[in-house]
Structure 1
Amino acid sequence: MSHFEVLAGNKVMVLGKPLTAKDVAETLSLGMKKKTEPFTVMSLKKVVERYREWECEMPGIKPYYAVKCNDNIVLLKVLANLGAGFDCATKAEIDMIINENIATADDIIYAHPIKTPEFLKHAYNLGVPRATFDSKEELCKMKALSPEMEGILRISCCDKTAERQLKHKFGCDPTKDVTKLLIKAKELGINVVGVSVHVGSRCCDPSAYERAIIHMRQIFDEGILIGHPMKVVDLGGGFPGIYNEKISLAKIGKCVMAALQKYFPEKEKYEFIAEPGRYFATTPFSTAAKIFGRIEVPANRITDNENDANKIGYMYYINDGTYMTFSCKHFDGIHPIGQPLTNGNDTNEELFPATIWGPTCDSADLVESLTYHRKLNIGEWLFWDEIGAYSISTVVEFNGFPKAKLYYFADDETM
């Protein structure tokens, strides 16, 4: 049995027993035989599970969720109810958090080192208490537009294994630039209350956080000597949404907690925060797309291997693509791997090389360049799990194709 509840203005299907996202999607697809749009399902339970894991592995470190990663209002509301703050980078994100009654200004950090003047003034007028900076120019901007706003110094300390490096765009040098920025802030009357870092997106080396914490300790000591009320240790983002043998939150947490104990042992003196995005957004969202076209081609057209010229391959065209939910391919370097939503009549059927194309006229709208499936039929659904980061928030309606419809589900225990 199931019933519906309303959260943030959206219906949530509450199930009597836990079901996987694939189970829910398969059930929904049965009623969509004539539907032409793709759909996405969100598990509220997975958000709660991720938050509980964070509390276990990163105790005492408050997460400020990076709204840009996925600004779905139900996700934001669940995180707020669990106790998260919010990392906002624009006026629209700040307004969404406040105007939708998700959280108050005190629960927001304006985490953009180079802020649009209009946005900065707006945030200041709303009472957002803190913003990051990494240059003297930004300090002058804050003095002019948000004179009472506290500053958090953003340093560059990027892990070489990270898939997305941020050091070229944001962050001052932790050894060469810090002193003059702390002095400049003091001259301008801006209180620097802490230090933030971003080790890079999908960092694969947990020790990168320890190296950042060492720099933070040195900067704290220098800031205190200059007269700044240093208290905020901001570990930034880079936390993984999908784990592998190299990285997980448990591995990061073990390294972080040991480093904080060593370099910031008097915990009551400090405020420990972080800015995870994909860590919370990835796993709760799964998507399903319908095949509307199938073409049989020589397999070498797909595999690029001339030995496959006499073999069969298939190109499938689905109603979702890289301008839509699969925009994560471009914006986050993710390469999702789908599976048939239903197994079909025979799970031992022959597998053929296949390409999965999105619906637009753009040849770059390529969801999967090479995969293997049984012969799939027009009207069948394909399913992708763990696709919530930098996907829904970066969707456009290029070529006039509609966005995926969202469905929410949870179980009695979660609600």
Structure 2
Amino acid sequence: MQVWLERMTIAKNIESKSFPSVEAMLVDYHPEAPVYCLRKKRIQRNARHFVNNFPGKVLYAVKCNPHPWVLDACHVGGISDFDVASLEEVKLIRERYNNSTPYFQHPVKSRSAIRNSYRLHGVRHFAVDHLSELSKVVDEVDDTRGVTVYVRLATPPGGASEHFSDKFGASIDEAVSLLNRVRNTGFKCALSFHVGSQCYDPCSYQTALSVVGKTISRARVPITALDVGGGFPASYPNMAPPPLADFMKAIVEGVAAIGLGHEITLLCEPGRALVADGMSVVTKVYLRKGERLYINDGIFGSFAESSFNQFQLPARLVRLDGSIGNGLKPFTVFGPTCDSNDQLPQPVCLPEDICEGDWIEFSLLGAYSNALNTNFNGFRGCMFVDIDDT
């Protein structure tokens, strides 16, 4: 416990620093624990680019990476509103920003989360995908006229690395019924959908928008807003999606095809596309056994998403003497815990002479890394630094 407390004290001190490079951080600190290396300026640029190109309001998906520096970088980049999925995320946004609007777009919420977010934190935007969830919102909200309820639609599978509509989303028939109930209870009516995480096909948004069009046509209920969700991808070595412009074009054309008027507010919830390339993780080699490496981070830490998504992460050897090592070869990489499942799913190519004490920087870990980090076996990456090398 004492070691852990000392590590946290060091983490607080180092978090106040900014370094020109990962190497400079290593010279100054020689870390034993994993270090999250944020590129705040890169996230700011990504956010600004998204705001300038999306034809509506951009909400940052807090769940993707809730670190305050990440939130601030998105905010500086022009994103003033946030997609939240829990009461704790509502509190985080309300405590940090005075003029931001949290949108509670998780379609399944506890009654206390609805009640407290509405009464204590002024949340006025809620998503539902079932009549029972709508009933909870009705019970916990005092004045329906000031609240917008988003009926979340299920979308067809395909076009994304992870499909969400097996868990969330109403069918067209269910959504038609829900929209009429929403209107009859006095709420402002809206629709939303999510095509899935890491969408690689822009046409997925047009397919989802056609579902929106059919729902509106059948329900004959005017909507005030449409949230096209997240799913906007990042580029990985083994997955290079189309450029963001193709997704924006597909959404604009899809909205036009179903005849939505300019009076309807269009929203989106990017996460990964904003932050994936804005953070790397520096790990240390604890042991080498032939072609197997044991490092101080793994699937119970920063690489949790690797256990269910097969994104390849760039990796490089970092040595303070500047040497880059001999020719590359694939290594099996294990994390620090006692669980034999703590293994990166893909081989990692690194110099043949890598050894104990070397550092490895894994890039493209700004999304769903620290957000999914556990404290299993007492291991937890808890240090963040700013790297200004962009």
Q: TM-score, normalised by structure 2?
A: 0.87
* Equivalent residue in structure 2 for 1:232, among 225, 231, 249: 225
Which whole-Å CA distance do the structure 2 matches of 1:13 and 1:345 have between them? 21
* Equivalent residue in structure 2 for 1:70, among 41, 45, 65: 65
Deviations 1:344-370 (A, max 9, x none): 787683444421111111111112542
- The code of the aligned residue for 2:335 comes to G
Contact preservation (8 Å) 1:158, 1:198: no
2:4 aligns to what? none
Task: Give the Å deviation of 1:403.
Answer: 1.6
Within 5 Å, which residues of 2 pair with 1:77-226? 77-81=72-76, 82-99=78-95, 101-104=96-99, 107-125=101-119, 126-147=121-142, 148=144, 149-174=147-172, 176-187=173-184, 189-223=185-219, 225-226=220-221
Contact preservation (8 Å) 1:10, 1:74: no
Which whole-Å CA distance do the structure 2 matches of 1:44 and 1:69 have between them? 15
Q: What is the SS of the residue equivalent to 1:163?
A: strand
* Equivalent residue in structure 1 for 2:18, among 13, 21, 24: 13
- The code of the aligned residue for 1:258 comes to E
Where does the alignment leave 5 or more consecutive residues of structure 1 unmatched?
A: 1-8, 16-23, 297-313
Q: What is the SS of the residue equivalent to 1:141?
A: helix
- The code of the aligned residue for 2:135 comes to C
Q: Is the counterpart of residue 388 in structure 1 residue 366 in structure 2?
A: yes
Which whole-Å CA distance do the structure 1 matches of 2:323 and 2:269 have between them? 46
Between 340-349 and 248-257, report the one with greater CA deviation.
340-349
Which whole-Å CA distance do the structure 1 matches of 2:322 and 2:64 have between them? 39
Over the aligned positions, Cα root-mean-square deviation in angstroms equals: 2.5
Where does the alignment leave 5 or more consecutive residues of structure 2 unmatched?
A: 1-13
Deviations 1:51-85 (A, max 9, x none): 23213432x32111111111101111222232331
Deviations 1:10-40 (A, max 9, x none): 635276xxxxxxxx1122112344x311211
Task: Give the Å deviation of 1:220.
Answer: 3.6
Task: Give the Å deviation of 1:315.
Answer: 1.3
Contact preservation (8 Å) 2:27, 2:320: no
2:342 aligns to what? 365
- The code of the aligned residue for 1:151 comes to V
Kindly, what percent of the aligned residue pairs are identical? 24
Which whole-Å CA distance do the structure 1 matches of 2:138 and 2:127 have between them? 13
2:267 aligns to what? 273
Q: TM-score, normalised by structure 1?
A: 0.82
Contact preservation (8 Å) 2:90, 2:117: yes
Q: What is the aligned length?
A: 369
Q: What is the SS of the residue equivalent to 1:87?
A: strand
Which whole-Å CA distance do the structure 2 matches of 1:337 and 1:137 have between them? 45
- The code of the aligned residue for 2:22 comes to A
Task: Give the Å deviation of 1:259.
Answer: 2.3
Contact preservation (8 Å) 2:286, 2:357: yes
Q: Is the counterpart of residue 405 in structure 1 residue 383 in structure 2?
A: yes
Between 123-132 and 346-355, report the one with greater CA deviation.
346-355
Task: Give the Å deviation of 1:318.
Answer: 1.0
- Sort the Cα spacing of 1:97 and 1:55 in 2 relative to 1 into closer, same or farther, 3 A: closer
Q: What is the SS of the residue equivalent to 1:366?
A: coil
Contact preservation (8 Å) 1:80, 1:103: no
